[in-house]
Amino acid sequence: MGAYTNPIYPYKAPADLMSTPPQRKPLIIIGAGPVGLAAAIDARLQGLDVLLFDDDKTVSVGSRAVCYAKRSLEILDRLGIAEQACNLGVSWNIGRTFLEEGEVYQFNLVPDAGHKRPGMINLQQYHIEEMLIARALELGADIRWQHKVTAVTRHDDHATLTVETPDGTFGIEADWLVVADGARSPIRRHLGLDIEGRVFQDRFLIADVIMKADYPAERRFWFDPPFHPKQSVLLHKQSNNVWRIDFQLGWDADPEEEKKPEKVIPRLQAMLGDDRPFELEWVSIYTFQCRRMTDFRHGRVLFVGDAAHQVSPFGARGANSGFQDADDLMWKLGLVIKGQASDKLLDTYAHDRQFAADENIMNSTRSTDFITPKSRTSRTFRNQVLALAKHYPFARKLVNSGRLSMPSFLTDSVLNTPDTDSFAGQMVPGAPMDDAPMQVNGQDAWLLDQVGKGFQVMLFVDAPPSPDVLAQLASCGSAPLRANVLPIKPSPLIVASRPLNIPGVKVIVDSQGLVAKRYDATPGTTYLLRPDQHVVARWRTLDAAQLQAALARAIGGHIGQA
Q: Which candidate, 511, 509, 544, 547, places its Cα nearest to that of 527?
A: 547
Same CATH topology for 14-90+119-194+293-367 and 437-554: the answer is no
pLDDT per residue over 44-95, tens digit each?
Answer: 999 999 999 999 999 998 888 889 999 999 999 999 999 999 999 999 988 8
Where exactly are the structural domains of the chain? 14-90+119-194+293-367, 437-554
Mean pLDDT of 242-265: 93
pLDDT per residue over 311-324, tens digit each?
Answer: 876 656 678 999 99
pLDDT per residue over 308-362, tens digit each?
Answer: 999 876 656 678 999 999 999 999 999 999 999 999 999 999 999 999 999 988 8
Domain 14-90+119-194+293-367: top CATH class: alpha beta
CA 255 – CA 204 distance, rounded (Å): 9
pLDDT band, residue 164 (cuts 50/70/90): very high
What is the pTM assigned to this prediction? 0.94
pLDDT band, residue 400 (cuts 50/70/90): confident
Q: How far is CA 302 from the centre of its chain?
A: 16
Q: Which amino acid is at 458?
A: M
Fold category of 437-554 in CATH: Glutaredoxin (3.40.30)
Rounded to whole angstroms, what are the CA distances from 362 to 289, 309, 324, 402? 12, 12, 17, 12
- The answer to whether 435 and 117 are in contact (CB under 8 A) is yes
CA 263 – CA 265 distance, rounded (Å): 6
In 10 A of CB 463, how many CB atoms?
10
